[in-house]
Chains A and B, each alone.
Chain A
Amino acid sequence: MPTADPILVVENIVKRFETPDGVLTAVEDVSFAVAPGEFLAVIGPSGCGKSTLFNVIGGLLDGYDGRVMVGGETVRGPHPSVGMIFQEESTFPWRTVIDNVAFPLEIAGMAKAERLEKARHFVEMVGLDGFERRYPAELSGGMRQRVSMARTLASEPKIMLMDEPFAALDEQTRLLLGDKVLQIQQDLKQTTLLITHNLTEAVQLSDRILVMTYRPGKTKRIVEIKLPRPRTSEIVGSDDFGRYVAQIWSDLREEASKGLKDDESRVARAGGKRR
């Protein structure tokens, strides 16, 4: 349980959607708190509402019950203290790397020389120094995600929200980028909330893991990850690591198989309707 005043509090979030098939409850009564500097991973099968939660906390979705509090005050829209990193390709293809990263500073009205200087600092932080003048199309997928990360970091948010940022990358790149993320988080002492379906990634990076149930998404379990800090990707091979993964996997599997059964019955129903 967090000891200091939590910087992010999520209280009784309920989010429903209207679909042609009726009302869908994506998230039902989810509550948790994140301490400053903590790394919390939210994990669950597809369809558990974790992306919905991401959009709610980030302020991109409205029409929900419950409260999101950042630094003690209730927020209901995108907040400057909350930085978001999206799952899809999100760099601006018409801007160079440095102009991408300087984007939030440009919006804030910073002078050109100053913001380029500051942006360069964050470009270095993600390990892309030398690539400032390149366009995203010239970079690999992993590098582009790093650009998106640097861009969000440049706005110096107190809380980083990440929605499956490595989903489109291969395993090796994922592990190495995970190292980068850890290193940055440790350097900046940043609070991070990571949404993922990848168990290895969650255990590798986080201090606590929140396991969500299949739709309607509720908190199934919160597990504390007591692996040593600072950490690197080498931890993936350790015994303790394996034990945590095994422990959480049984929970995940139960929820994931519910999801599979639901999918199958939905396809069967739809097939029957089509003719």
Chain B
Amino acid sequence: MATTGSVTATPGAAFGWAAMPLSRRVLLLRVALIAAIVLIWEAVAASGLLFQDVVPSLLIIGRTLVSLLTDPDLKWPIDAGVGGFRLAFELWIPAFYWHLYVTIAEVAVALAIGGLMGLAVGLALGANPFLSAAFERFLYYLGPTPKIVFLPVMIMWFGVGPESKVAMGTISCFFPVVLSAAAGMRQIDNVLIRVGRSFRLNTRQMVTKIYLPAMREPIVNGVRLGLGVALIGTLLAETKLSNKGVGFQIMDAYNTFDMPRMYAVLGVLFVIAIGANALVGRASRG
């Protein structure tokens, strides 16, 4: 189709708006939007519209962020012995990284357990129509429920330590994975399954050489969703009852009314969450 360049009279016409290539215009609009948000933020911060310090200036938040990521304020004792050698010293690191490590470890374990269980159960349900008709409905309807209400039970079963947070993450991510896996299993072209059977593959070979490769996309999508909800489940559990982790840091900052620190932690968290999601998304396409 012939491209139409419509030159309409806009306020930006003075800047040669219409003559600019599209990518340039998009970039300018984005910069303008970000600038507008920053301006409004600073205006609210300066005006004192909300309570004192609820919306601190971005400069303060920036400074806090830098301090959060670089000020060594946590003592990390290292004491290791190998053979005749013994290494003992104290390392000082910014506390944030240690909390981040705790949260990432919890989410990773939750994703591993919930993901593998979800995969196994999903494959079984997808392969067997009887089991699917019997049980899949329960899982389908239980999926969109707020798992956080299970936290008291998880705490009773696993205590107040990281185990209960991992448990929260696990039950959160189990559902999207199992439903995606079951659906993905059913949507495999029947021809591929018959090819596998004609070569007399055993179950393990069928799973690794036929089922899993054919289901790569639905599984990755399920894991992506699972990652998102595992992250939320784990973090929310940390905010409710914990003394370590990123969730705890957020709550701690809130309780001490250290708003800049809360914003800084939230900011880093969002960047990581969005980044992780984008990475998995690229993996699904690659």
Interface residues of A in 14-42 (CB under 8 A from B): 17-18
> Is B3 an interface residue, CB under 8 A from the partner?
yes
**Count of chain B residues with a beta carbon within 8 Å of a chain A beta carbon:** 3
Secondary structure call for the A interface: strand
> Is B2 an interface residue, CB under 8 A from the partner?
yes
What string of 1s and 0s marks CB contacts (under 8 Å) between A47-84 and chain B? 00000000000000001000000000000000000000
Secondary structure call for the B interface: loop
Contacts of B2 in A (CB 8 A): 17-18, 63
> Is B50 an interface residue, CB under 8 A from the partner?
no
Contacts of A17 in B (CB 8 A): 1-2
Residue of A with least CB distance to B3 = A18
Contacts of A63 in B (CB 8 A): 2
Nearest-Cβ distance from residue A22 to partner chain B, whole angstroms: 13
CB-defined A-B contacts under 8 Å, sample of 5: A17-B1, A17-B2, A18-B2, A18-B3, A63-B2
Nearest-Cβ distance from residue A14 to partner chain B, whole angstroms: 13
C-alpha gap A86/B79 in the complex (Å):
79
C-alpha gap A93/B240 in the complex (Å):
50
What string of 1s and 0s marks CB contacts (under 8 Å) between B1-20 and chain A? 11100000000000000000
C-alpha gap A17/B1 in the complex (Å):
6
Residue of B with least CB distance to A19 = B1
Residue of A with least CB distance to B1 = A17
Nearest-Cβ distance from residue A65 to partner chain B, whole angstroms: 13
What string of 1s and 0s marks CB contacts (under 8 Å) between B31-42 and chain A? 000000000000
Nearest-Cβ distance from residue B279 to partner chain A, whole angstroms: 29
Nearest-Cβ distance from residue B57 to partner chain A, whole angstroms: 50
C-alpha gap A3/B1 in the complex (Å):
38
Interface residues of A in 95-137 (CB under 8 A from B): none
Contacts of A18 in B (CB 8 A): 2-3
The 5 closest A-B pairs by CB, nearest first: A63-B2, A18-B2, A17-B2, A17-B1, A18-B3
Nearest-Cβ distance from residue B7 to partner chain A, whole angstroms: 16
C-alpha gap A41/B62 in the complex (Å):
72
Nearest-Cβ distance from residue B3 to partner chain A, whole angstroms: 7
Nearest-Cβ distance from residue B278 to partner chain A, whole angstroms: 29
Nearest-Cβ distance from residue A131 to partner chain B, whole angstroms: 36
Contacts of B3 in A (CB 8 A): 18
What string of 1s and 0s marks CB contacts (under 8 Å) between A218-233 and chain B? 0000000000000000
